[in-house]
Structure 1
């Protein structure tokens, strides 16, 4: 995983829907982390955009939620749910 620093934030920001997917399915950070074989804090870092996942981890997360990887991750912000913009 790469830490997103101030100089690289614009170029390497990876947006994700991990919190939304976890909430929809009632999955805790600890449960997701255990299923992925990572520390639960790693899930928090990913959710907050403090780290970008490796390709392997991104694919494992998508597989866990049974969705295509582009449903979980994007290089552009996801539209707000229920928003007018």
Structure 2
């Protein structure tokens, strides 16, 4: 019969590994890893046409920045528009 002895150091090591793994699993995941998205990426994510995206810009639903001829959208604004804000418990 083989008996293994568990020491307090073994328990501390196990505890630290377990906490590290739990933090990794429970950490909120961002649906969009990039900070800024181009129009084509936003249209693909939302499955909308260029005209619909333009309407979202015009009515102020989705904020944007124009650099040169390219429009950029903050991923956090997109998350907020979709209702995934931190106040509501969603992932941002």
- TM-score scaled by length of structure 2: 0.27
Structure 1 or 2, whichever has the larger Rg, is 2
- TM-score scaled by length of structure 1: 0.29
Does 1 or 2 have the higher relative contact order (CA < 8 Å, sep 6+)?
A: 1
